[in-house]
Amino acid sequence: MINKLVEKIKKTGAPIVVGLDPMLNYIPQHVLDKAYAEYGETLEGAAEAVWQFNKEIVDKTYDLIPAVKPQIAMYEQFGIPGLMAFKKTVDYCKSKDLVIIGDVKRGDIGSTSAAYATAHLGKIKVGSKEYTPFGEDFATVNPYLGSDGVNPFVDVCKEEKKGLFILVKTSNPSSGEFQDRIIDGRPLYEWVGEKVAEWGADCMGDEYSYIGAVVGATYPEMGKVLREIMPKSYILVPGYGAQGGQGKDLVHFFNEDGLGAIVNSSRGIIAAYKQEAYAKFGPENFGDASRAAVEAMVADISGALAAAK
Protein backbone atom coordinates (compact mmCIF):
# COMPACT_ATOMS: atom_id res chain seq x y z
CA MET A 1 0.00 0.00 0.00
CA ILE A 2 2.95 2.36 0.55
CA ASN A 3 3.79 1.94 -3.15
CA LYS A 4 0.23 2.91 -4.10
CA LEU A 5 0.39 5.93 -1.78
CA VAL A 6 3.70 7.11 -3.27
CA GLU A 7 2.44 6.54 -6.84
CA LYS A 8 -0.76 8.47 -6.17
CA ILE A 9 1.17 11.35 -4.58
CA LYS A 10 3.40 11.51 -7.67
CA LYS A 11 0.43 11.32 -10.05
CA THR A 12 -1.68 13.98 -8.32
CA GLY A 13 1.31 16.16 -7.37
CA ALA A 14 -0.53 16.58 -4.07
CA PRO A 15 1.31 15.39 -0.94
CA ILE A 16 -1.85 15.93 1.04
CA VAL A 17 -4.57 13.98 2.77
CA VAL A 18 -8.09 15.22 3.37
CA GLY A 19 -9.14 14.57 6.95
CA LEU A 20 -12.73 13.38 7.14
CA ASP A 21 -13.51 14.61 10.68
CA PRO A 22 -17.21 15.44 10.47
CA MET A 23 -18.80 17.29 13.38
CA LEU A 24 -22.48 18.23 13.24
CA ASN A 25 -21.64 21.92 13.44
CA TYR A 26 -19.63 21.67 10.19
CA ILE A 27 -22.52 20.09 8.30
CA PRO A 28 -24.69 22.58 6.40
CA GLN A 29 -28.28 22.92 7.60
CA HIS A 30 -29.82 21.62 4.36
CA VAL A 31 -27.90 18.33 4.75
CA LEU A 32 -28.94 18.01 8.41
CA ASP A 33 -32.58 18.84 7.62
CA LYS A 34 -32.76 16.14 4.94
CA ALA A 35 -31.18 13.48 7.18
CA TYR A 36 -33.40 14.38 10.16
CA ALA A 37 -36.52 14.37 7.96
CA GLU A 38 -35.72 10.78 7.02
CA TYR A 39 -34.36 9.39 10.31
CA GLY A 40 -35.43 11.92 12.94
CA GLU A 41 -33.10 13.75 15.32
CA THR A 42 -31.50 10.44 16.25
CA LEU A 43 -28.05 8.88 16.12
CA GLU A 44 -29.14 7.38 12.81
CA GLY A 45 -30.08 10.84 11.55
CA ALA A 46 -26.72 12.26 12.60
CA ALA A 47 -24.87 9.34 10.98
CA GLU A 48 -26.83 9.82 7.73
CA ALA A 49 -25.91 13.53 7.71
CA VAL A 50 -22.24 12.64 8.29
CA TRP A 51 -22.29 10.14 5.45
CA GLN A 52 -23.99 12.54 2.98
CA PHE A 53 -21.55 15.32 3.98
CA ASN A 54 -18.52 13.04 3.47
CA LYS A 55 -19.82 11.74 0.16
CA GLU A 56 -20.16 15.25 -1.28
CA ILE A 57 -16.65 16.21 -0.14
CA VAL A 58 -15.15 13.03 -1.57
CA ASP A 59 -17.06 13.46 -4.86
CA LYS A 60 -15.72 17.01 -5.21
CA THR A 61 -12.08 16.27 -4.29
CA TYR A 62 -11.13 12.66 -5.04
CA ASP A 63 -9.50 13.40 -8.41
CA LEU A 64 -7.12 15.92 -6.80
CA ILE A 65 -5.88 13.89 -3.85
CA PRO A 66 -4.14 10.61 -3.07
CA ALA A 67 -5.69 9.83 0.30
CA VAL A 68 -8.25 10.51 3.00
CA LYS A 69 -7.94 10.20 6.77
CA PRO A 70 -11.22 9.51 8.54
CA GLN A 71 -10.85 10.22 12.28
CA ILE A 72 -12.78 7.43 14.01
CA ALA A 73 -13.62 9.51 17.11
CA MET A 74 -15.88 11.74 15.03
CA TYR A 75 -17.92 8.64 14.06
CA GLU A 76 -17.78 6.84 17.42
CA GLN A 77 -19.52 9.79 19.05
CA PHE A 78 -22.67 8.66 17.20
CA GLY A 79 -22.39 5.09 18.50
CA ILE A 80 -23.12 2.14 16.25
CA PRO A 81 -24.77 4.25 13.48
CA GLY A 82 -21.64 6.43 13.55
CA LEU A 83 -19.37 3.42 13.10
CA MET A 84 -21.56 2.29 10.20
CA ALA A 85 -21.05 5.72 8.62
CA PHE A 86 -17.29 5.25 9.15
CA LYS A 87 -17.37 1.92 7.32
CA LYS A 88 -19.56 3.33 4.55
CA THR A 89 -17.10 6.21 4.14
CA VAL A 90 -14.11 3.82 3.99
CA ASP A 91 -15.85 1.67 1.35
CA TYR A 92 -16.87 4.68 -0.71
CA CYS A 93 -13.36 6.15 -0.67
CA LYS A 94 -12.03 2.76 -1.72
CA SER A 95 -14.44 2.75 -4.69
CA LYS A 96 -12.85 6.08 -5.67
CA ASP A 97 -9.38 4.45 -5.49
CA LEU A 98 -8.26 6.65 -2.60
CA VAL A 99 -5.77 5.42 -0.01
CA ILE A 100 -7.46 5.31 3.39
CA ILE A 101 -5.61 6.20 6.57
CA GLY A 102 -7.73 5.17 9.55
CA ASP A 103 -6.88 7.63 12.31
CA VAL A 104 -7.67 5.21 15.12
CA LYS A 105 -4.59 5.69 17.36
CA ARG A 106 -4.69 2.16 18.74
CA GLY A 107 -2.06 0.29 20.75
CA ASP A 108 -2.38 -2.06 23.76
CA ILE A 109 -0.90 -5.26 25.14
CA GLY A 110 -0.01 -7.69 22.35
CA SER A 111 -3.20 -9.77 22.25
CA THR A 112 -5.42 -6.68 22.25
CA SER A 113 -3.28 -4.91 19.62
CA ALA A 114 -3.67 -8.03 17.46
CA ALA A 115 -7.46 -7.65 17.64
CA TYR A 116 -7.25 -3.93 16.79
CA ALA A 117 -4.98 -4.74 13.86
CA THR A 118 -7.45 -7.34 12.60
CA ALA A 119 -10.33 -4.87 12.96
CA HIS A 120 -8.71 -2.06 11.01
CA LEU A 121 -6.18 -3.64 8.64
CA GLY A 122 -6.86 -7.34 8.54
CA LYS A 123 -9.46 -10.04 8.05
CA ILE A 124 -11.41 -12.05 10.60
CA LYS A 125 -12.46 -15.69 10.23
CA VAL A 126 -15.94 -16.57 11.41
CA GLY A 127 -16.41 -20.32 11.04
CA SER A 128 -15.65 -21.10 7.42
CA LYS A 129 -16.11 -17.49 6.30
CA GLU A 130 -13.71 -14.56 6.22
CA TYR A 131 -14.63 -10.88 6.63
CA THR A 132 -12.91 -7.52 6.33
CA PRO A 133 -14.21 -5.56 9.35
CA PHE A 134 -13.24 -1.94 8.56
CA GLY A 135 -10.70 -2.31 5.78
CA GLU A 136 -8.51 0.79 5.97
CA ASP A 137 -5.12 0.78 4.20
CA PHE A 138 -3.11 2.42 6.98
CA ALA A 139 -3.81 2.91 10.67
CA THR A 140 -2.33 5.30 13.21
CA VAL A 141 -0.76 3.54 16.18
CA ASN A 142 0.22 4.70 19.66
CA PRO A 143 3.63 3.14 20.43
CA TYR A 144 3.81 3.99 24.11
CA LEU A 145 3.12 0.41 25.23
CA GLY A 146 6.36 -0.66 23.52
CA SER A 147 7.26 -3.18 20.83
CA ASP A 148 4.83 -5.89 21.91
CA GLY A 149 2.01 -3.38 21.41
CA VAL A 150 3.24 -2.46 17.91
CA ASN A 151 4.43 -5.83 16.54
CA PRO A 152 0.92 -7.28 16.00
CA PHE A 153 0.13 -4.30 13.75
CA VAL A 154 3.38 -4.82 11.84
CA ASP A 155 2.57 -8.53 11.40
CA VAL A 156 -0.85 -7.76 9.91
CA CYS A 157 0.71 -5.12 7.63
CA LYS A 158 3.17 -7.73 6.32
CA GLU A 159 0.37 -10.23 5.64
CA GLU A 160 -2.06 -7.74 4.11
CA LYS A 161 0.34 -5.26 2.47
CA LYS A 162 -1.00 -2.44 4.61
CA GLY A 163 0.85 0.26 6.58
CA LEU A 164 1.13 2.21 9.82
CA PHE A 165 1.73 5.76 10.94
CA ILE A 166 3.18 5.61 14.45
CA LEU A 167 2.80 8.61 16.77
CA VAL A 168 6.26 10.12 17.28
CA LYS A 169 5.75 13.85 17.95
CA THR A 170 2.14 14.96 18.02
CA SER A 171 0.90 18.38 16.95
CA ASN A 172 -0.99 19.39 20.09
CA PRO A 173 0.23 22.16 22.42
CA SER A 174 1.03 19.88 25.39
CA SER A 175 2.69 17.12 23.37
CA GLY A 176 6.02 18.10 24.92
CA GLU A 177 4.89 17.20 28.46
CA PHE A 178 6.02 13.62 27.92
CA GLN A 179 7.30 13.42 24.34
CA ASP A 180 10.04 16.05 24.83
CA ARG A 181 11.35 14.63 28.14
CA ILE A 182 15.10 14.06 27.95
CA ILE A 183 16.10 10.44 28.41
CA ASP A 184 19.78 9.48 28.24
CA GLY A 185 20.52 12.87 26.70
CA ARG A 186 17.87 12.85 23.98
CA PRO A 187 14.17 13.72 23.82
CA LEU A 188 11.78 10.79 23.99
CA TYR A 189 10.36 11.54 20.53
CA GLU A 190 13.84 10.93 19.04
CA TRP A 191 14.02 7.53 20.72
CA VAL A 192 10.58 6.70 19.30
CA GLY A 193 11.68 7.97 15.87
CA GLU A 194 14.69 5.62 15.98
CA LYS A 195 12.41 2.74 16.86
CA VAL A 196 10.12 3.60 13.91
CA ALA A 197 13.17 3.54 11.59
CA GLU A 198 14.15 0.15 13.05
CA TRP A 199 10.62 -1.33 12.69
CA GLY A 200 10.45 0.13 9.20
CA ALA A 201 13.77 -1.23 7.94
CA ASP A 202 12.26 -4.70 7.78
CA CYS A 203 9.14 -3.45 5.99
CA MET A 204 10.32 -1.77 2.81
CA GLY A 205 8.17 -1.00 -0.23
CA ASP A 206 9.93 0.07 -3.45
CA GLU A 207 11.16 3.43 -2.18
CA TYR A 208 9.72 3.88 1.30
CA SER A 209 8.86 1.72 4.28
CA TYR A 210 5.25 0.95 5.04
CA ILE A 211 5.95 1.80 8.67
CA GLY A 212 5.62 5.58 8.83
CA ALA A 213 5.42 8.19 11.56
CA VAL A 214 3.15 11.00 12.73
CA VAL A 215 4.96 14.30 13.32
CA GLY A 216 3.00 17.53 13.82
CA ALA A 217 3.32 20.47 11.41
CA THR A 218 3.36 22.67 14.50
CA TYR A 219 6.90 21.49 15.37
CA PRO A 220 8.96 22.16 12.21
CA GLU A 221 12.39 22.03 13.91
CA MET A 222 11.63 18.64 15.39
CA GLY A 223 10.29 17.53 12.01
CA LYS A 224 13.68 18.36 10.48
CA VAL A 225 15.55 16.20 13.01
CA LEU A 226 13.05 13.36 12.72
CA ARG A 227 13.26 13.44 8.91
CA GLU A 228 16.97 12.61 9.27
CA ILE A 229 16.39 9.91 11.89
CA MET A 230 13.75 8.13 9.74
CA PRO A 231 14.85 8.72 6.10
CA LYS A 232 12.79 5.84 4.70
CA SER A 233 9.63 6.39 6.72
CA TYR A 234 6.74 8.38 5.30
CA ILE A 235 5.71 11.12 7.72
CA LEU A 236 2.01 11.90 8.18
CA VAL A 237 1.93 15.57 9.14
CA PRO A 238 -1.23 16.80 10.93
CA GLY A 239 -1.55 20.35 12.20
CA TYR A 240 -1.80 22.21 8.88
CA GLY A 241 -4.49 24.90 8.61
CA ALA A 242 -6.77 24.92 11.65
CA GLN A 243 -3.85 24.25 14.04
CA GLY A 244 -1.68 26.91 12.41
CA GLY A 245 0.76 24.92 10.22
CA GLN A 246 1.62 26.47 6.82
CA GLY A 247 3.49 25.29 3.71
CA LYS A 248 6.63 27.20 4.64
CA ASP A 249 6.89 25.22 7.90
CA LEU A 250 6.82 21.90 6.14
CA VAL A 251 9.76 21.92 3.77
CA HIS A 252 12.05 19.91 6.06
CA PHE A 253 9.49 17.17 6.55
CA PHE A 254 10.18 16.19 2.94
CA ASN A 255 13.23 14.40 1.50
CA GLU A 256 15.36 15.73 -1.36
CA ASP A 257 13.23 13.65 -3.77
CA GLY A 258 10.22 15.84 -2.87
CA LEU A 259 8.61 12.79 -1.24
CA GLY A 260 8.49 11.39 2.27
CA ALA A 261 5.68 13.45 3.79
CA ILE A 262 1.92 13.68 3.45
CA VAL A 263 0.19 16.63 5.08
CA ASN A 264 -3.27 16.37 6.61
CA SER A 265 -5.91 19.04 6.84
CA SER A 266 -9.34 18.22 8.24
CA ARG A 267 -11.35 21.27 9.37
CA GLY A 268 -9.47 23.50 6.91
CA ILE A 269 -10.88 21.46 4.01
CA ILE A 270 -14.19 20.01 5.14
CA ALA A 271 -15.45 23.20 6.77
CA ALA A 272 -13.86 25.52 4.18
CA TYR A 273 -17.24 27.01 3.24
CA LYS A 274 -17.34 28.60 6.72
CA GLN A 275 -14.08 30.49 6.12
CA GLU A 276 -14.13 34.02 4.76
CA ALA A 277 -11.86 33.05 1.86
CA TYR A 278 -14.44 30.56 0.56
CA ALA A 279 -17.65 32.25 1.75
CA LYS A 280 -18.66 33.00 -1.86
CA PHE A 281 -19.51 29.31 -2.32
CA GLY A 282 -22.14 29.34 0.45
CA PRO A 283 -23.31 26.32 2.46
CA GLU A 284 -25.18 24.90 -0.59
CA ASN A 285 -21.88 24.48 -2.42
CA PHE A 286 -19.74 23.31 0.50
CA GLY A 287 -18.12 20.60 -1.65
CA ASP A 288 -16.89 23.19 -4.15
CA ALA A 289 -15.44 25.22 -1.28
CA SER A 290 -13.57 22.09 -0.12
CA ARG A 291 -12.23 21.58 -3.63
CA ALA A 292 -10.97 25.17 -3.74
CA ALA A 293 -9.35 24.68 -0.31
CA VAL A 294 -7.59 21.52 -1.52
CA GLU A 295 -6.25 23.42 -4.56
CA ALA A 296 -5.00 26.25 -2.31
CA MET A 297 -3.33 23.79 0.09
CA VAL A 298 -1.53 21.99 -2.75
CA ALA A 299 -0.37 25.33 -4.20
CA ASP A 300 0.88 26.47 -0.76
CA ILE A 301 2.90 23.30 -0.13
CA SER A 302 4.21 22.93 -3.70
CA GLY A 303 5.14 26.62 -3.74
CA ALA A 304 7.07 26.26 -0.46
CA LEU A 305 8.89 23.16 -1.76
CA ALA A 306 9.79 24.87 -5.06
CA ALA A 307 11.02 28.00 -3.26
CA ALA A 308 13.28 25.88 -1.03
CA LYS A 309 15.06 24.21 -3.98
Which spans of this chain sit near ligand LLZGTKA7 (rule: CB under 6 A)?
Answer: 19, 21, 71, 103, 170-172, 214, 216, 238-239, 241-243, 264-268
If the CB atoms of residues 54 and 71 are measured against ligand LLZGTKA7, the closer one turns out to be 71
Which residue is nearest to ligand LLZGTKA7, using beta carbons?
170
**156 Cβ neighbours under 8 A, 6+ residues apart:** 114, 117, 118, 121, 122, 162
Of the residues 105, 161, 248, 274, only one is catalytic, namely 105
If the CB atoms of residues 21 and 300 are measured against ligand LLZGTKA7, the closer one turns out to be 21
If the CB atoms of residues 219 and 254 are measured against ligand LLZGTKA7, the closer one turns out to be 219
Q: How far is the CB of 222 from ligand LLZGTKA7 (least distance, A)?
A: 12
Q: Is 105 a catalytic residue?
A: yes
| CA–CA separation, 6 and 8 (whole Å) | 5
Q: How far is the CB of 225 from ligand LLZGTKA7 (least distance, A)?
A: 16
If the CB atoms of residues 100 and 114 are measured against ligand LLZGTKA7, the closer one turns out to be 100
Q: How far is the CB of 43 from ligand LLZGTKA7 (least distance, A)?
A: 21
Q: How far is the CB of 268 from ligand LLZGTKA7 (least distance, A)?
A: 6
If the CB atoms of residues 47 and 215 are measured against ligand LLZGTKA7, the closer one turns out to be 215
Q: How far is the CB of 286 from ligand LLZGTKA7 (least distance, A)?
A: 15
- Residues with a catalytic annotation lie at 105
